[in-house]
Amino acid sequence: MTSEIVQESDVMYGLKNVLSQIEAAVARRSKDLPQITPRLVAVSKIKPVADIIKAYDAGQKHFGENYVNELADKAQDPAILEQCKDIKWHFIGHLQTNKINKLLGSPGLFMVETVHSEKLADNLNKQWRKYRKDNEKLRVMVQINTSAEEAKSGIEPSDATKVVEYILNKCPNLDFEGLMTIGQYDYDISKGANPDFICLSKCRQEVCEKLNLDINKVELSMGMSTDFEHAIELGATTVRVGSLIFGARPPKIASRVKQVSFEKTNSV
């Protein structure tokens, strides 16, 4: 019992601390940037349902997951359904076509942040008809591979306008919300502003100018636990923070092995 209380306190402290850092970063942000209050997405991958409920009870509503099976299982967990009725799930991982229906059928799905092609947008648009309520559109972001790393998903910055235009004109069931990037890990900001964040901001500027969109209504999802404050200072409107709230995750290799096992066990 005592360990549960300590763990709950840790989650609440982590969340409170991150929110304070967000507020401070907003105060440092240039007034020339769109003055959008940043949304915190608490990344709960590989974390138990109990931790999600603790963060939810502390006021956090937006949660992000990287794997479809994990998001779907958590979204349908009886405790989540009963105690987190207003939870909002963000999918922030690579989405394969054969997992679209499972993702879209997840209760509380709020946004897909990782649309990386016109084909994926088209599939989401077609399949969403089966799940939408009262003509509600599916919120999406277009993922940009700002760091040009082969291991990361996303379109090239030069293709941003084309893909956004396709969604706006050809996907009536989708609601384009903004642009997202992962960027390179552990960038040293002593070298200057993060080039990935600058790139995403320029992509938004170009998209808005070419498609005549209001820049104040086009979001930027960028920044994680190690760099979310810097991302906000450069214009992020959504930040994705996990370890500072829920504690450190297992090493990447061990974590991925665990996830593969999880997906095989829970596959349909």
pLDDT score of 243 more than 80: yes
134 to 115, 129, 155, 168: CA distances (angstroms): 23, 10, 32, 20
Beta bridge partners of 141: 178
Paired residues of 91 in beta bridges: 65, 112
Higher pLDDT among residues 252 and 74, named by residue:
74
Gap between the Cα atoms of 40 and 25, Å rounded: 13
Check the CA dihedral 115-118-122-125 and report its sign. Answer: positive
pLDDT at 259 over 60: no
User: What HEC string does 64-92 produce?
Assistant: EECCHHHHHHHHCCHHHHHHCCCCEEEEC
Lowest mean pLDDT: which of 113-117, 149-153, 225-229?
149-153
Query: What is the predicted pLDDT for the residue at 8?
Result: 57
pLDDT at 82: 98
Contact of 68 with 95, CB cutoff 8 Å: yes
Confidence band of 123 (pLDDT split at 50, 70, 90):
very high
pLDDT band at 254 (very low <50, low <70, confident <90, very high): very low
Q: Is the pLDDT score of 232 beyond 90?
A: yes
Residue 39 and residue 41: Cα distance in Å, rounded? Answer: 6
182-230 pLDDT per residue, tens: 988 888 888 899 999 999 999 999 999 999 999 999 999 999 999 999 9
Mean per-residue pLDDT over the chain, rounded: 90
Task: State the pLDDT at residue 252.
Answer: 55
How much is the pLDDT for 230? 96
What average pLDDT does the segment 141-165 reach?
94
Mean pLDDT of 43-54: 95
Q: Which residues are CB-neighbours of 64 under 8 A, at least 6 positions away?
A: 41, 42, 43, 44, 45, 89, 90, 91, 92, 113, 240, 242
CA–CA separation, 108 and 113 (whole Å): 15
Q: What is the pLDDT of residues 76-96, one digit of tens each?
A: 999 999 999 999 999 999 999
